[in-house]
């Protein structure tokens, strides 16, 4: 199934300075065959992969298309989708380390009241996917609306107010993967720092660590070509 989505996305590209080293051609051929096979087996549109082999060099391979008539190229940046949650979680821990938040603070200390959200849910429960909240991206009514106007930039508040359904569990109960948790965590980042979440990502991670091919689409421009983001959560195939 072809899918790659989240409201918060980052892009990644391997440092081009590593490409000057020579990679074993036999190993390179095997790696290329592997990604070609994976693309076919899992019916995905396109793959871009890199392998850093100590003492040998760097291999970069591509397979498939970005969209019809546009093949994947090794200089394209890709959405990393829910891997963005890792950055979000680390940022919240940094804010706790700097005493801007506490992990057991409740939502009502930072955010207004939302329908179907218990304001006593804690930051820790959001991070651990134990909020009991409904995953707003699972609402089948949302996908057609988003695909109907792909140029629209949705705020977290708009999505939550219009498409969040009733909780599926009590806070602190069973683990359940939920994108709603990270919508709220992004809002907490903004409320506690006074900055947009993407500015905090850039100031705390991207710029200090030299991650110059990372960024947040819709808010930041890219010099590199961007691979098409395919979404098929509800069988849309777009």
Residues taking part in catalysis:
82
CA pair distance 64, 75, nearest whole angstrom:
14
Record the tokens describing residue 3, joined without a space. 């899918």
Record the tokens describing residue 82, joined without a space. 């829910």
Query: Phi and psi for 128 in degrees, rounded to 5?
Result: -90, 5
Record the tokens describing residue 33, joined without a space. 């065959």
Query: Phi and psi for 183 in degrees, rounded to 5?
Result: -60, -50
Spatial contact of 194 and 200, defined as CB atoms under 8 Å apart: no
Question: For the residues of 106-152, what is the DSSP string, one character each?
Answer: BGGGTS---TT--TT-BHHHHHTT-S----GGG-TTHHHHHHHTTT-
Tell me which residue of 14, 76, 41 sits closest to 229, measured CA to CA.
76
């Amino acid at each position: 199934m072809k899918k790659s989505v989240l409201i918060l996305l980052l892009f990644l590209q391997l440092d081009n300075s590593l490409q000057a080293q020579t990679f074993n051609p036999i190993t390179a051929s095997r790696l290329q065959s592997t990604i070609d096979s994976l693309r076919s087996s899992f019916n995905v549109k396109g793959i871009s992969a890199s392998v850093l082999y100590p003492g040998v060099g760097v291999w970069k391979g591509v397979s498939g298309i970005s969209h019809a008539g546009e093949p994947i190229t090794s200089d394209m940046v890709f959405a990393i989708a829910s891997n963005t949650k890792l950055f979000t979680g680390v940022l919240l821990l940094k804010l706790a380390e700097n005493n801007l938040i506490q992990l057991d603070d409740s939502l009502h200390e930072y955010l207004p009241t939302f329908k179907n959200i218990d304001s006593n849910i804690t930051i820790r429960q959001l991070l651990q996917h134990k909020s009991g909240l409904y995953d707003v991206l699972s609402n089948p009514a949302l996908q057609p609306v988003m695909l109907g106007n792909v140029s629209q930039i949705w705020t977290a508040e708009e999505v939550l107010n219009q498409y969040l359904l009733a909780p599926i569990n009590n806070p602190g109960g069973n683990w359940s993967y939920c994108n709603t948790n990270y919508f709220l965590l992004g809002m907490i980042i903004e409320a506690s720092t006074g900055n947009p979440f993407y500015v905090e990502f850039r100031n705390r991670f991207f710029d200090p660590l030299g991650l110059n091919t990372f960024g947040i689409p819709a808010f930041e421009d890219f010099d590199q070509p961007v691979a098409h983001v395919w979404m098929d959560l509800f069988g849309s195939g777009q």
